[in-house]
Amino acid sequence: MWEQIRDNQLRSVILVTALGCMLILLGSFLGQTVLGDWSIGLLLALLIWIVMTLVGYFQGDSILLSISNARKIGPDDMPRIYNVVEEMKIASGFEKMPDIYIIDDPALNAFATGRDKNHASLAVTSGLLQKLSRDELQGVIGHEMAHIRNRDVLLMAMCSILLGTIVMLAWYGSRILFFGGGTRRSSSGGGNAQIIILVIALALMIFAPIMAQFIYLAISRKREYLADASSALYTRYPEGLASALEKIGASTEQLKSANNATAPMYILNPFRKNGRAAEDLSSTHPPISERIRILRAMAGNVSLAGYESAYNQSHKGGGGIIPGSALAADDAALQRDTSSAGITQSEKERARETSDALWKLHNYREIACNCGLKFKTPPDFHGDTFTCPRCGTVHSL
Amino acid sequence: MLIAILVILAIAIIFVLILAGIYNGLVGARNQVKNAWAQIDVQLKRRHDLIPNLTETVKGYMQHERGTLEAVTNARTTAIKSADSGVAAQARAEGELSQALGRLLAVAENYPDLKASQNFLALQEELTSTENKISFSRQFYNDSVLQYNNKIQMFPSNIVASMGGFKEGEFFEVTDTVEREAPKVSFS
């Protein structure tokens, strides 16, 4: 299990290569039709792609976190989430603690980012912290850690950049082609060849983004199952993730800060329509009911092999969700008999804890009075003292 | 003739490269077992450090639970002392500490004032999480040992393992009374 998951990697390499070929084809055909030269179009397409990849590789995580309005937290800001992440860090064998970010949003969601194990970040919404119990949180964090561990995050980032480049080229290409722009057809002869190239270029412009999208989705869905299986293995408690998914699926809030490019990064597709089981080809995530059913069918054996057989049960064979090399190195793992939580917090307590942490992150200062009242003073509060309205004690700031 | 020599040379180089790869894989697996073991120790140490704070916080609230408190303090002292006196003894001591702590936290449920104290809540969070971390690091250790042992037993890496003197690691089993079994990993 702890081995690199080779089969999956090979499959991904093939798919990425297919995406890359599509980009090259599109670039050169566009070059031929618009500029009258294969090589210029090809070079332009590659140049755009390389620049975008470099930016994505080195700056992708910070860009993603900043457009999601995520705030970084330390161990003292919110011990519960920090501890849960550290527990999962130990269970998954990471050496470096990932950075943790909170997104102030009532929607229930989480995502992982970062190019490798040493540059990993996890983001969770404040809604998730309020609604999920400790066991459920462990399941979700385990799922995200598995994404980093299996290098899904890097792959998905690279794929979405490729996809983005293809879509962008197709869009601009079609605009230039249809609304004038330099169609300086160099040669006067060879009308037939011109038409054929134009038709192919048109077809590519229409189909490349769609095909690329399908490839992207195929990669992403497989990896969701694998991440679920790994999460069950880390926590030894598939019920935690199952009931977390149930809560997340039942929630009606939509994440405000998500967009099409970031959707596959989340634990649950942030764009699903209300009450719709998004199980068709156009979804980045497998249907949530399906994922819950598989997790609940694992019945004691929480290894990857256990997940595979649970998947086969609900799909009448035709599995192959977990790569063979990972299965071979995997022995049966027993489920924990009880939840490990130890601490039971009510939803109200969790809500208070989360909002306190958010106040603190926004630089509000907290004052606890001896009479039991607690105050939060805003960052622009001017004054040296503060009087408690209940008992009259004067606090100096 | 030259071609034949080149082919033989190429085969020999490939063979050596494969051997080196297997050997490095074994060393990597062994180091992972070592690291996983160190993780367990870090968490046990962390628990020892947390207990004085806990007893200090709890003392004021739980006047009638002197016995439970003393049991925790004593178990901690024994556990720290036993760190040098063999793994089996340490295992027993840590197991008793776990149980004493469990009793204390269970009794604390009867004291609403204590449960409302911010200090106590923070400590409870830290202790519970440390217990979880101990069990997760044990789990990772066992997985690492399994992977390492598989490499030692399976063909063809078993040949390299026996030549390089790699010894199998021992699993970390937990019984009801004993928190930590003797791991006896020999890294020769």
CB atoms within 10 A of CB B11: 10
Grade residue A333 by pLDDT with cuts at 50, 70 and 90.
low
Q: Do A80 and B125 touch (CB under 8 A)?
A: yes
Measured in whole angstroms, how far is the alpha carbon of residue A331 from the centre of its chain? Answer: 29
Paired tokens of B15: 């063979």
Residue ranges per domain, chain B? 2-164
Taking alpha carbons only, the member of A101, A110, A116, A109 closest to residue A148 is A116
DSSP-derived secondary structure letter, A330: -
Grade residue B179 by pLDDT with cuts at 50, 70 and 90.
very low
Q: What are phi and psi of B97, to 5 degrees?
A: -60, -45
Q: Do A91 and B140 touch (CB under 8 A)?
A: yes
Of A87, A144, A224, A308, the active-site residue reads A144
Taking only the tens place, the pLDDT of each residue in B135-166 is 888 888 888 888 888 888 888 888 888 888 88
CB atoms within 10 A of CB A76: 10
Grade residue A85 by pLDDT with cuts at 50, 70 and 90.
very high
Provide ipTM, 2 decimals.
0.77
Grade residue B10 by pLDDT with cuts at 50, 70 and 90.
very high
Q: Is the pTM of this model over 0.80?
A: no
pLDDT of residue A252: 65
Q: Which of A2, A87, A92 sits opposite B129 (nearest CB)?
A: A87
DSSP-derived secondary structure letter, A266: B
| B98 at interface of A, judged by CB pairs closer than 8 A | no
Sort A159 into a burial class: Cβ within 10 Å, 0-12 / 13-18 / 19+. buried
Measured in whole angstroms, how far is the alpha carbon of residue B169 from the centre of its chain? Answer: 13
The yes/no answer on whether domain B2-164 falls in CATH 1.20.1440.20 is yes
Provide the pairing of β-strand A385-387 with A374-377. Answer: unpaired
Q: What are phi and psi of A120, to 5 degrees?
A: -105, 145
Taking only the tens place, the pLDDT of each residue in A160-181 is 778 778 877 777 777 777 665 4
Length of chain A: 397
Taking alpha carbons only, the member of A336, A364, A132, A127 closest to residue A236 is A336
d(CA A346, CA A348): 5
Most confident among A169-173, A322-326, A386-390, B38-42 (mean pLDDT): B38-42
B39 CB neighbours in chain A (<8 A) are: 90
Point out the least confidently predicted range of A137-151, A252-266, B79-93: A252-266
B interface mutation test: which of A84, A87, A235 has the most B CBs within 10 A? A87
pLDDT of residue B7: 93
Grade residue B70 by pLDDT with cuts at 50, 70 and 90.
confident
Residue ranges per domain, chain A? 6-328, 363-397
Residue that wins the pLDDT comparison between A14 and A229:
A229
A368 CB neighbours in chain B (<8 A) are: 118
Mean pLDDT of B36-49: 87
Residue that wins the pLDDT comparison between B150 and A325:
B150
d(CA A303, CA A1): 9
B126 min Cα distance to partner chain A (Å): 8
Please, what's the b/e burial string for B13-43 (b: 16 or more CB within 10 A of its CB; e: otherwise)? eeeeeebeebbeebeebbebbbebbebbeeb
Whether A190 shows a pLDDT value over 70: the answer reads: no
**Long-range contacts made by residues A278-282, C-beta under 8 angstroms, separation at least 24?**
A281/A214, A281/A217, A282/A213, A282/A217
Side chain identity, residue A175: R
Q: Do B140 and A90 touch (CB under 8 A)?
A: yes
Residue A144 is a catalytic residue: yes
Grade residue B115 by pLDDT with cuts at 50, 70 and 90.
confident
Q: Would you say A162 and A382 are in contact if contact means Cβ atoms under 8 Å apart?
A: no
| B63 at interface of A, judged by CB pairs closer than 8 A | no
d(CA A244, CA A110): 11
Could you tell me which residues of chain A have a Cβ less than 8 Å from any Cβ in chain B?
A: 1-3, 79-80, 83-84, 86-88, 90-93, 95, 234, 236, 329, 331, 340-343, 368
B36 CB neighbours in chain A (<8 A) are: 93
Q: Do B140 and A1 touch (CB under 8 A)?
A: no
B131 CB neighbours in chain A (<8 A) are: 340, 342
